[in-house]
Chains A and B, each alone.
Chain A
Amino acid sequence: MRKKLLILLLCAVIVCTVTIGIVYADDPTAPSEDGGEATAELYTIEVGDATLTVDTHNLNMSITKGGRTWYSGRRHLGEDGEPDDGLQYNGSRITDGVTVTYRDASSVNKIQQTDSITNLADDPVRDFKKLDNGFDAKIRLKSNVGISFTVQVRFDGTHLVATVPSSSITETTDNMRLEQISLFPYFDGSYQQADGQIFVPDGSGALIDMSVRSNATQGYSQRIYGEDCSLSTPSARANEPERASLPVLATLYPDGGTTMIATGGAEYCRANASVSGIGQYPYNRAGFTFIYREPYTRYYDDSGDTSKSTYELQTERNEFDAQITYTLMDEGVNIADVAKVYRDSIDIKKSDITNVGMRLQFLMAENKPSMFGRTRVEMTTPEYVESVARDVSYYCNGLTVALTGYQKGGLGGADPSVFPMSGKSSYRSLGESLATFDVPLSYCVDYVRVHERASFSNGNLLQNISEQFIVLADNRAGSDVAFRVIKPSYSEKMLKSDVKKLEEFHAGIEATNVGSMLFSGYKSEAFSRTQLIADTVRMIGEAQLPVALSNPNAYMFGVLDSYVDTPVEYSAYLIETESVPFLQMVLGGSVPMYSELLNLDYTGAQLVLRLIDCNVYPSFILTEQDAIELYGTDSQGIFTSSFDVWKYSIRSTYEQVNEVLKEVVGQQITRRDKVASNVYVNTYSNGVKTVVNYSSAPYYYEGTLVEAMSAAAVR
């Protein structure tokens, strides 16, 4: 009997042990195998005069330095006077250091779930490794999600670097797929109306005032370096919103601020900013979200019929190390300080700028439909370009000339590369002639897109993830043509071929879409956004001739010689309150920057002031013939271009810009101040200040009268 009882007891113990084992195996709150602690504690690191404290349960951090505290997610007192750390927005808990988005890939609609880590596991931080200069935290989400990754944080007293190594990410379930990770999404955020601004990289740059209630119903959210046309069809509206070409955000308060730079995985990240009042949500915040997979619509029919499509999620995860570098800024931080931090973090090719420049782009020829096919419309001859350049160079020492539409059939439907060219010898002598009076010449090319009418082999065209040729609509006003995307390998071939031939033409190239359109490739030519960046930088870097790029992304700054189509404005989203020349603060003094074509949006004095304010040089599109000749061509959106019509405005614009900017040639903006309503002062590295008065009243600055709607340089 006793023996039986003993056996029963033994059995009971075994059953209990097995049961507990089974239960614990699925229990997310169970202690981890590698000895991670389930209980929360505060871990503190002291580096110089700075102290970093982190809650090991949810990675909520606070950094104290010089009397100011930076919070990764600040608690605020609720109405009952208790800390309201449960406040959530879109599933994200303010006090949690990481927010994760995942999708159920097995469901038809690929159901998406966004949550902060403490909502996704009772004890999400399984292994917290304390280091002298930071910590490593292994995060494991509940078992039915099955995603885990490591957050590495390093702190040197001024810079805090947060990284999620790609190698640390694991997905253990069959269906749940990691889509996005937001690292410290509330870093240096604030509560309700606060005295301060958020900087977002919208166009030239934009500020969001946190002290006023916004009418906006949505925050700022832009993909860094633009959307991927292999995964989604880009819209083609005229006056598209500006692209976020710099992976940088900032918060600026009177007592300090933070510069946030996506130093790793910028090509897969999205910059977000929101202010109190949007969606009844009381927080101001800025942060980056890293994208590991993207949903897309797979079409089975070229017609774009949605009934013949399925909603899919990328199967392969994007491989990159996500990294954000936070730089803590002291009291009195200025937007120019943020620009300096960013400038110091990147590689910029330094060009020798000696004069205030001006860029004249000539449209040589177009074509239009006629009774018998298409007729070439001759707009400008090389001889005319030479005579105009000679005339303009008398008063403009920094003139540069670019040519477009020089191909045999004119611009519309032309080959994407420089050659074949119409009338080679006259172009060759144009290059020689311009070189004699030091006017650089370049040929406009587009190695990324090809016109739908161009005779181009389908084998050299890129297909999207649905294996269809990518069709991009033209976003120029008045144009209804479409373009295809060229395989990057073929783009490189074209560039190399052009470079070889262009040597004898005394000319450089001016590339559109190269370094500004970022995409990935699948199946026949598979490559990632990261690879395309590396290839494009190498390709342009190896070109042995001057290269100008049209509105490129930040990763091209190390190889470009001049920047054309420079944005001088922001998109004017309702959330934004002010445009700021941040891009110019980063590149100004290092790379000559030319504006977008001014004659197509000529707002007169205000436009000139904006150029001066941004330290950007004017740019015009010109023709010998009247622009009415372009009606019916793909370029009919160029509704005014005749040099005869524009010569006086060009001279007047240049002289006004030159009058002020000649004092700051080759200099960087070190400070920007709004000294009165619609009056801005930029301080340059040589101590000269440019005062731009956009207002309708005169303004005195340090004893200098600046008339209404005018600008001045003050020493």
Chain B
Amino acid sequence: MKRWYIVIAIIVLAAITVFAMPSIAFAVPYSTETIGPEGSVVPTQTAYSPVDKIAISIDDPTKKVAPEDMAIDEEAGLVYVAESTSQSVLVLTIDGEQKGVIGKGTLSRPTGVALDEERLFVADRGNNKIYVYSKDGYELQREITKPTNPLVGADTPFVPTKLTVDSRGNLYVVSEGCASGLMQLNLDGEFIGYVGANETQATFKSLLQDLFFSEEQKSTFLAAPRSPTNVAINSRGLIYTVTNTASQNAVKKLNTLGNAIMSPSVNYARTVAVSIDDAENIYSVDNDGNIAVFDSYGDLLFRFGGKDADERLGSLSNPVAIEVLDDGSIIALDKQYGMAVIYERTEFANKVFDAVSYYKDGLYLEGERLWKDILQLNSSFIVSYKALARASMKRGDYETALRQFKLAEDKQGYSEAYWEIRNDWLQKNVGWIVAVVLVLIVLVVVWKIIDKKKPKLLMPIKKGVGKVTNVKIVHELLYTGTFFKSAPDAVYQTKYHGATSIWSALILYAWFVVLQLLDVLVTGYLFNSNSVYNSNALRIVLTSTAILFALVLCNYFVSTVTDGEGKLRHCFITFIYALAPYLILALPMFVISRFLTYNEQIIYDLLMIVIYGWSAVCVFRTIMELHDYTFWQAVKNIILTLFAFLMAILFVIVLRMLLTQFFGYFASLFREIFTHA
């Protein structure tokens, strides 16, 4: 494996030497972002600096240059630019010196170019043809027109806009308006098939249309899948499609069968073009001039660039193409500026790419030094913690791995590290655990024996407990146990014998609110969906209190119009008592969750379902008993309660908007009066 790296390193160094560029980085007109904690996008060190530009000019300086696409022959040091104003393909050196013009007088509106070892392919959307030129002498070898294969319907348009070519000479052509995907053609222009078709996104409306429309109506009204808008290929011949208008999966990697197998983790709609390097890292540019770099798994490494009205080198106005060179430099072609901008990797980016390649190959320990270097330059570079945690795991340093997995927000990895730590602890302490359990069992047995044979001995203790439980409020609180076991009986006792009170209910409401806070604070990291830093205690208290009281009120009002018998006082008390399973068992579950890993997740989930389910049953039975409803009456009552609850929320939102507008109107009125007074 090491030899393989040496070969790669030599190739890269050779490429750098051949393709040397000016190396003074200019001021960077953008900030660079990466994925940080909690999936947020955070700033990072500059990964790419704009170092130079390739100015594109045409014979007539009075006309605006309109570059459409480019292809780069690194070996020859040439850049081929499809230029629609001059209706030709311009051949430039990396310094911008023009070396030739291809297709003058033949091409109409060239918008796509691609290269293989011997040929240059040009997609001409003006003539609806693909032109094939030799790279030596730029001789026109072939013109490819619309395939005659019956699989290509007569109505299917053939407007080639972009294309790429694989090592066997197969062309993958983006044809404007072709919803079936890319057209795969062989070198003779024969149709092989369609690949990479997009799917229509199912909406409620489209589902209804699909159900009720005739075939004719469907063809008229149902949306066709979006056509791919650009295409790229990697060194293994795998195709990547770009769909500019897609709201999800704008970039898709296809397998050899033409099916999508991967999309970048962050979707940037309005992506214009992509390029893939030898390590299969993905480089994309969007309409807003942002360049995103993803690793081969599709994880975002960097995002930078963007539009800048000030016209600064490095900003893009109307990007149309992107290419990556062997040394990692990126070239982005901008139609508005009529030039290509060259971005060079910084030392930071070089380290990231080297480290990523180690990580990809599972060489965690080998890449550890690099990841540490990266963390020195950016402590929020989350991918580093992930890699370092893996390295720590490999070394058996689970404590460190646990901390690093937490920083990396890799819960699966955290679970693995925690399992190891727990396992180690259990093995070390198994004797103590068994001893403690045995002692507890013995104590219980002894208690029972004494209680049976010499009950007087335990009387003082029992009396003490009895005194406490006989306190009214304690007694009422302990009544949750009755709701726990039999909600209807408990409701009956509450309704007719005052088994509970407003005060005990208020304490339970408070406990419910406290449980919401404890959920955030106590629940184990693996099972906690909330972050302490993103949770606001006051908001939690107000929200949960408002929801509880609103539900009680809604239920009461609904029951008054649906022949319910419950009074508001009883609704208030029994509603919270009905949540007894949750009130009693939630805290133990929060605590237990701290000692569990994902291996035991099913147990945890099952227990939580039981708690929530049991609580729901209790609430349902409480409503039945409280209002003296039948089963279906109770169902109806609950549905109406929920509906009323939603209406109440809507009312509050509308009221807030109206009040804001009301005060805003008077504020602006007064300001206008005073300004003109």
A457 at the interface (CB under 8 A from B): no
A91 at the interface (CB under 8 A from B): no
Q: How close is A145's CB to chain B, nearest CB, in angstroms? A: 27
Q: List residues of chain A with CB within 8 A of the CB of B27.
A: 203, 239, 242, 569-572, 579
B310 adjacent to A241 (CB under 8 Å): yes
Whether A301 contacts B664 in the complex (CB less than 8 A), given A467-B671, A478-B43, A569-B26, comes out as yes
B675 adjacent to A603 (CB under 8 Å): no
Per-position binary interface string of chain A over residues 190-230, scored 1 when its CB falls under 8 Å from any chain B CB and 0 otherwise: 00000000000001000000000101111000000000000
B431 at the interface (CB under 8 A from A): no
Neighbour of A368 across the interface among B44, B57, B379, B533, CB < 8 A: B533
B675 adjacent to A238 (CB under 8 Å): no
A82 at the interface (CB under 8 A from B): no
Q: How far is the CA of A590 from the CA of B520 in the complex (A)?
A: 58
Q: How close is B636's CB to chain A, nearest CB, in angstroms? A: 39
B517 at the interface (CB under 8 A from A): yes
Give residues 319-364 of B contacting A (CB, 8 Å).
Answer: 337-339, 346-348
Give residues 46-75 of B contacting A (CB, 8 Å).
Answer: 46, 49-50, 53, 55, 57, 61-62
B668 adjacent to A308 (CB under 8 Å): yes
B671 adjacent to A631 (CB under 8 Å): no
Q: List residues of chain A with CB within 8 A of the CB of B62.
A: 280
Q: How far is the CA of A168 from the CA of B375 in the complex (A)?
A: 63
B348 adjacent to A602 (CB under 8 Å): yes
B380 adjacent to A631 (CB under 8 Å): yes
Q: List residues of chain B with CB within 8 A of the CB of A467.
A: 671, 674-675
Per-position binary interface string of chain B over residues 398-432, scored 1 when its CB falls under 8 Å from any chain A CB and 0 otherwise: 00000000010000000000000000000000000
A601 adjacent to B37 (CB under 8 Å): no
Per-position binary interface string of chain B over residues 295-321, scored 1 when its CB falls under 8 Å from any chain A CB and 0 otherwise: 000000000000010111110000000
B28 at the interface (CB under 8 A from A): yes
Give residues 524-573 of A contacting B (CB, 8 Å).
Answer: 569-573
Which stretch (B16-24, B448-456, B639-647) binds chain A?
A: B16-24
Q: List residues of chain A with CB within 8 A of the CB of B534.
A: 369
Q: How far is the CA of A242 from the CA of B27 in the complex (A)?
A: 10
A218 adjacent to B311 (CB under 8 Å): yes
Q: How far is the CA of A570 from the CA of B117 in the complex (A)?
A: 42
Whether A572 contacts B376 in the complex (CB less than 8 A), given A370-B533, A603-B49, A639-B44, comes out as no
B65 to chain A: closest residue by CB: A215
A42 at the interface (CB under 8 A from B): no
Q: List residues of chain B with CB within 8 A of the CB of A604.
A: 346-347
- On chain A, the number of residues with a Cβ less than 8 Å from chain B's Cβ atoms is 61
Interface of A (DSSP majority class): loop
Q: How far is the CA of A370 from the CA of B671 in the complex (A)?
A: 38
Q: List residues of chain B with CB within 8 A of the CB of A695.
A: 22-23
Q: List residues of chain B with CB within 8 A of the CB of A709.
A: 23
Give residues 657-710 of A contacting B (CB, 8 Å).
Answer: 677-678, 694-696, 709
Which stretch (A118-126, A286-294, A640-648) binds chain B?
A: A640-648
Q: List residues of chain A with CB within 8 A of the CB of B542.
A: none
Q: List residues of chain A with CB within 8 A of the CB of B256.
A: none
Whether A575 contacts B311 in the complex (CB less than 8 A), given A636-B42, A636-B380, comes out as yes
Q: How close is A654's CB to chain B, nearest CB, in angstroms? A: 17
B616 at the interface (CB under 8 A from A): no
A368 to chain B: closest residue by CB: B533
Give residues 478-532 of B contacting A (CB, 8 Å).
Answer: 517, 520-521, 532
Q: List residues of chain A with CB within 8 A of the CB of B474.
A: none
Q: How far is the CA of A695 from the CA of B20 in the complex (A)?
A: 10
Per-position binary interface string of chain A over residues 451-475, scored 1 when its CB falls under 8 Å from any chain B CB and 0 otherwise: 0000000000000001100000000
A14 at the interface (CB under 8 A from B): no
Q: How far is the CA of A571 from the CA of B310 in the complex (A)?
A: 9
A215 adjacent to B339 (CB under 8 Å): yes
Whether A626 contacts B379 in the complex (CB less than 8 A), given A371-B536, A571-B312, comes out as yes
A235 to chain B: closest residue by CB: B309
B43 adjacent to A572 (CB under 8 Å): no
Q: How far is the CA of A678 from the CA of B674 in the complex (A)?
A: 60
- On chain B, the number of residues with a Cβ less than 8 Å from chain A's Cβ atoms is 63
B25 at the interface (CB under 8 A from A): yes
Neighbour of A215 across the interface among B338, B376, B378, B520, CB < 8 A: B338
Neighbour of A573 across the interface among B42, B311, B671, CB < 8 A: B311
A627 at the interface (CB under 8 A from B): yes
Q: How far is the CA of A369 from the CA of B533 in the complex (A)?
A: 6
Whether A628 contacts B407 in the complex (CB less than 8 A), given A572-B313, A606-B24, A694-B24, comes out as yes
Q: List residues of chain B with CB within 8 A of the CB of A646.
A: 376
B42 adjacent to A572 (CB under 8 Å): no
A572 adjacent to B314 (CB under 8 Å): yes
Q: How close is B12's CB to chain A, nearest CB, in angstroms? A: 15
Which residue among A242, A280, A466, A696 has the maximum number of chain B CB atoms within 10 Å of its CB? A696
Whether A694 contacts B311 in the complex (CB less than 8 A), given A572-B29, A640-B377, comes out as no
Whether A677 contacts B22 in the complex (CB less than 8 A), given A238-B31, A600-B45, A603-B49, comes out as yes
A394 at the interface (CB under 8 A from B): no
Q: How close is A212's CB to chain B, nearest CB, in angstroms? A: 9
Whether A217 contacts B675 in the complex (CB less than 8 A), given A303-B664, A308-B668, A628-B407, comes out as no
B537 at the interface (CB under 8 A from A): yes
B535 at the interface (CB under 8 A from A): yes
B155 at the interface (CB under 8 A from A): no
Q: How far is the CA of A571 from the CA of B27 in the complex (A)?
A: 6
Q: How close is B71's CB to chain A, nearest CB, in angstroms? A: 21
B23 adjacent to A694 (CB under 8 Å): yes
B665 to chain A: closest residue by CB: A301
B50 to chain A: closest residue by CB: A572
B225 at the interface (CB under 8 A from A): no
Q: How far is the CA of A695 from the CA of B51 in the complex (A)?
A: 12
B536 adjacent to A369 (CB under 8 Å): yes
B668 adjacent to A572 (CB under 8 Å): no
B540 to chain A: closest residue by CB: A371
B257 at the interface (CB under 8 A from A): no
Q: How far is the CA of A569 from the CA of B23 in the complex (A)?
A: 15
Per-position binary interface string of chain A over residues 320-342, scored 1 when its CB falls under 8 Å from any chain B CB and 0 otherwise: 00000000000000000000000
Give residues 261-281 of A contacting B (CB, 8 Å).
Answer: 277, 280
Q: List residues of chain A with CB within 8 A of the CB of B24.
A: 606, 678, 694
Give residues 241-263 of A contacting B (CB, 8 Å).
Answer: 241-242
B36 at the interface (CB under 8 A from A): yes
B46 to chain A: closest residue by CB: A601
B64 to chain A: closest residue by CB: A217
B437 at the interface (CB under 8 A from A): no
B667 at the interface (CB under 8 A from A): yes
B376 to chain A: closest residue by CB: A645
Which residue among B29, B62, B338, B536 has the maximum number of chain A CB atoms within 10 Å of its CB? B29
Q: List residues of chain A with CB within 8 A of the CB of B604.
A: none
Q: How far is the CA of A236 from the CA of B533 in the complex (A)?
A: 26
Q: How close is A298's CB to chain B, nearest CB, in angstroms? A: 7
Q: List residues of chain B with CB within 8 A of the CB of A300.
A: 668, 671-672, 675
B672 to chain A: closest residue by CB: A300
Q: How far is the CA of A43 from the CA of B540 in the complex (A)?
A: 83
Q: How far is the CA of A601 from the CA of B44 in the complex (A)?
A: 8
A80 at the interface (CB under 8 A from B): no
Q: How far is the CA of A38 from the CA of B61 in the complex (A)?
A: 42
B667 adjacent to A217 (CB under 8 Å): no
B557 at the interface (CB under 8 A from A): no
B598 at the interface (CB under 8 A from A): no
A371 adjacent to B50 (CB under 8 Å): no
Whether A639 contacts B49 in the complex (CB less than 8 A), given A241-B310, A571-B27, A632-B533, comes out as no
A575 to chain B: closest residue by CB: B311
Question: 9 more A-B contacts (CB under 8 A) besides A241-B312, A369-B533, A645-B379?
Answer: A215-B55, A216-B311, A238-B43, A467-B675, A478-B42, A570-B26, A601-B45, A603-B346, A632-B37
Q: List 16 A-B contacts (CB under 8 A).
A: A203-B27, A213-B57, A216-B311, A238-B31, A241-B310, A371-B537, A466-B675, A467-B671, A574-B311, A574-B313, A602-B377, A606-B23, A636-B380, A639-B43, A641-B379, A678-B23
Lowest 4 CB-CB distances: which A-B pairs, in order? A477-B43, A238-B31, A569-B27, A627-B379
